[in-house]
Structure 1
Amino acid sequence: MLKKLLTLISLLWACQYGYAQNTDAFWKRFQNLYNEDKFTEIYNLLSPSFQAEMSLEQHINLFKNGIKKSAGKMKGAVLLKAEEDASTYLLTFAQMKLEVLLMLNKEEKVQGWLWQPYREQKKHALDVQYVNPLKNKTDSTIDREARKYLEQNPKAQLSFAIVHPDKTVHYYYAADQLPDAQSVYELGSISKTYIGWLVAQAVTEGKLDIKADIRTYLRGTYKNLEWDSQPILVQHLLNHSSGLPRLPENLLKLATDQENPYKAYGNEQLLKSLQASKLSAKPGTQAVYSNYGYGVLGYILEQVYQQPLEQLLNQKLQTVLKLDSISFKSGPALIRGHNESQDPVPAWEFQVLAGAGAIKATLKATAAFLQQQIAAENTAIRLSQAIIDPRLEPQTAYAWQVNPLKNQADTLIWHNGMTGGFSSFYGFFKQKKTGLVMLSNVADPVDAAAGEILKAIRQQ
C-alpha cells in the first residue's frame, strides 16, 4: 500500500537537467518539519508547478496517513549519489527505509522527487548474455548500466538502440534468454508520443484544430468542462494542462482486474466520467500529467477519422512515414512482463484509454519512429516537437517533454513509460541528432540507466 502511495508524490525523470543542489540542508529542515507534523510547511517547500500536481489536502493526507503512519519518525538522511542536477538519499525512519531522488530548482524549492522503498543492493550472480560491439564510450556505458540493472532485476530482457539519422545500433542483454529485434514490449506512456504525432498529422490534414473546444468532438453536453468560461482546448490535452485528473474518477471502481486496470473501460464509461469530472484548475494554467487526457485525445481522433485508433495509427505510420505497424494487442512475440519483485504479470489491455499507453512494439519499430523524429523531415513530426505553451513547466510539446540543456546548445526531447510489467525510455538530442531507446520487461524504472547513457552520448 505504501508503494502505491509513494507513486502519488513521484515526479518522474522530467527534472534530470536542473540546478546545483543544496540538499543536505534541505533534508535537515525536512526532518524537523516532518517529525513535528508540520506537513503544510513541507508543502510550501514544493515549487508552484510541483504543487499543481497535488492539492494541500492530498499532500497532508499522504504524509500524515500514508508515510508517517507506515514509516514512523524520520531519523536521518544519508547521501547515496550526488550529481549536478539531482541527488539520491537514503532516508531512515523508525520502521523502514526509503530512497528519494530529489531535484531542487534555483530557488531551492522541490522541482521533483521520486520516493520509493529502499532496495538493498542485492547482487545476483548472473551469467549475462549480451550483444554489444563494445567499441566506444556509449557502448561501455550501456554495458555497465545493463549489468547494474540486471543485478537488481535478473528476469529482465533488455533492448537498447542508439539512433542516428542514417543508422541504428541495437544492443541486447539478459541473464537467460536474449531478446532480439522482433521481441515485442509494452511501451506504456511512450505511446503518447505516437498519439501526439497523430494529432499533429490531423492538424496538417485540416482534420483537427488544437485551439478548438474539445466538446466540438464529443457526443453529449458537458457544461462542466470549462472554468470561468475557459473551455478545455485540444492543446490542453496535449500538454497536460486541461485540469482533468490523472485518471478518470470511475476507472478503479469499474476495474474488474487490478493487474489489468484499463481492460473493462470503454466509450460509455469515458463519456459518463467526462460529464461528472470537476476540473482542478482553469484549463491552460497548470500542467498536471494526465492519462485521462490522452485517452480523450484517442477518442477524439476516432471521432474525427471515423476509424478505430489502432487502425488509424497504423495506416498513418505506413502511408505517411513508411514504417512498420504496431499493435495494441498481445501476441506470441510479446515477451513476459514482470513486476519489481520479478514475478510474472499479465499484459495490459486497453479500450477507449488506448491513447494513454496501449502500444506494443519491437525495438526495431520504436527505433525507426525515433529515427523519423530525429530526421524531422515530416511536417507533422516537426509540429509535434514544438512547445505548446512556453509559460508552463515542465515544457511540453505534443506529448514530448522538452528540456533545454544548461550551458549547451542542445535540447533533450524525451518521454518515458511504465506498465504493470514493463518500463521504457525514449529520447533524443535535437541538435546532436542522436537518440536512445531503452526497453525492459520489468516494471522497475529505467530512467537512471537512460540518464547515464545520455551523458555518454553527449560526451562522445
Structure 2
Amino acid sequence: MRLILFTLNSQAQIRNDNPLKSEFDVTIGHAAMQYMSDSTTHSLNIGIVYRGKTYSYHYGENIKGSGELPTDDLYYNIGSIAKTFVGTLLAQAVIDRRIGLYDDIRRYLPGSYPNLQYQSHPVTVVQLANHTSALPGVIRNIYPEEKNKLSKLDFIGQADYLSNYNTDSLLKDLHKIVPDTIPGKRYRYNTNGVMILQYILERVYNCSYEKLITEYLRTRLGLNHITPVLNGKKMKRTAQGYTKDGKPQSYVNLNGYYIGPSINATMHDLLGYIKAQLKEHDQAISLSHHLTWIEPSGFAVGLNWMSNVDNGKRYFYHDGNTKLGFNSLCTIYPSQQLGIFIIVSDVHSQKEIGQMENDIYAKFQQINVEQGMKD
C-alpha cells in the first residue's frame, strides 16, 4: 500500500492512500482533505462505484496514534442505512407473495389491535416502509427510574439493557399507541415503524431477521460480510469509532427492538451492495426503488430508500448515525451509474458528510461533461 501525505490549504498533513493519478483521485482528495482538516475528525473512508468499477480511499488513522490507515476489511456499523436492507427484504417478501404492500399491518400481528387505525383508516405495510404510518416516534417511554439506572451503566451495559426490549415488549407496547392522523397523508421519519416491519418479516417467514438478511445477501448478491450481529472472530476486525469529545467508543452488537435495525459491514461488501443497487438486476432491489411516497418538491421514498431529483435525474440515498461512533452516507445515481459510500469514525457532522458527497458528485458531473465533449 502506497501512503501519501497530501496537503490542502496549508492544513496539517493527513495520512492516506489516494494515488492522485486521475481526475477522480484528485476530486476525492480535495473533498476528503476539506473534511479531515477539522481537528475533531479521526478517519474517513470513501467507496466509489462508477460504471461497474470500484474505488476506495482511506484517510486518517483507524486507532488514533497508531499510524495505521483504516481498510476495506474492517467492520463498521452503518446506522440507519440498515433500514434499506429491511426495505429490500420487504420487497422480496412481496415477490414471494408473503406480504402485500397495501395490506393492513394487523393482518400480520398476533392478537387484536383496534387501536392501529385512525377514523377507520388502518396502517398499511407500505406506510411502515415510507414513514407515513402516522404512528408516534416513541413506542416505549423510558421512565425516570430507568433513566437513572441507565445513567449508572457504561455504554456496553446500556446497550445490553436496551437489548432486552424483545418481540413481546414490542407487541405489548403496540397496544398502547394510536396514529395521530390518517395514515398515508404525511411523511414523518419513524424508526419504530421499520422495527415493526422487521418483526412482520420475521413472522411471515418464521425466521430471524439476521438469518433472513444474511442468507439473502449471500445467495443473491454473493456478499458474506454484511450482518446484523458480529461473532467473536469478526468483532476483532471492527473499526474504532469515537464520541463527540474524541474518546474511543466501545463496539458492541446492537440487538433488540428498541434501538432500531442494525447492520455491520465491511467497505468491500458495501461496494458490492452499491453495485447491485446500480445494476437493479435483482428483483427485490429493483422493487425497493419503486417510489411509494412523492412530494411536489421532488423528495420521495421507496421502500426505506429516500429519493430526490437533480437536473431531472432521480437518485436514492440514506444516511446513518450510530451510537458506536460512526457517521455514514450512501447515495445511488442509477442514470449515471455512480454510487458513493462514505463512512467516518466520528460523529462530528452529518451535514459536512453530505457536503463532501455533493462536492464529489458535482466534480464527477463536470468530468463527465468534459469527457463527453472530447468524445
TM-score when normalising by structure 1: 0.68
Q: Distance in 2 between matches of 1:392 and 1:378?
A: 29
1:417 is matched with which residue: 299, 317, 320? 320
SS at match of 1:356: coil
Deviation, structure 1 residue 212: 0.9
CA spacing shift, 1:138–1:281, aligned 2, 3 Å? farther
CA contact (8 A) 1:191 1:359 kept: yes
CA spacing shift, 1:162–1:202, aligned 2, 3 Å? same
Report which stretch shifted further, 131-140 or 409-418.
Answer: 131-140
Give matches, 1:45-444, under 5 Å. Answer: 126-154=12-40, 156-175=42-61, 176-250=67-141, 257=150, 259=155, 260=158, 262-330=162-230, 331-347=235-251, 349-353=253-257, 356-391=260-295, 394-405=299-310, 408-420=311-323, 421-444=325-348
- Partner AA of 2:270 in structure 1: T
Deviation, structure 1 residue 379: 1.2
Q: Distance in 1 between matches of 2:194 and 2:48?
A: 28
SS at match of 1:132: coil
CA contact (8 A) 1:243 1:280 kept: yes
Deviation, structure 1 residue 164: 2.6
Q: Distance in 1 between matches of 2:27 and 2:138?
A: 36
Q: Distance in 2 between matches of 1:267 and 1:282?
A: 26
Q: Distance in 2 between matches of 1:294 and 1:333?
A: 28
Q: Distance in 2 between matches of 1:349 and 1:432?
A: 36
Taking only aligned residues, the RMSD between alpha carbons, in angstroms, comes to 2.3
CA spacing shift, 1:329–1:153, aligned 2, 3 Å? farther
Deviation, structure 1 residue 126: 4.1
Seq. identity, %: 28
Match of 1:41 in 2: none
Q: Distance in 2 between matches of 1:195 and 1:182?
A: 23
SS at match of 1:358: coil
SS at match of 2:82: helix
CA contact (8 A) 2:118 2:180 kept: no
> 1:388-447 CA distances to partner (integer Å, 9 max, x unpaired)?
133587410011111111xx2421211110012110010121211111010111112222
Matched, 1:449 2:340: no
Q: Distance in 2 between matches of 1:324 and 1:125?
A: 39
Q: Distance in 1 between matches of 2:110 and 2:10?
A: 54
CA spacing shift, 1:300–1:252, aligned 2, 3 Å? farther
Q: Distance in 2 between matches of 1:453 and 1:433?
A: 14
Q: Distance in 1 between matches of 2:281 and 2:236?
A: 34
Q: Distance in 1 between matches of 2:183 and 2:10?
A: 49
- Partner AA of 1:188 in structure 2: G
Count of residue correspondences: 336
Q: Distance in 2 between matches of 1:322 and 1:299?
A: 25
Gaps of 5+ in 1: 1-122
CA contact (8 A) 1:225 1:278 kept: yes
Q: Distance in 2 between matches of 1:230 and 1:150?
A: 49
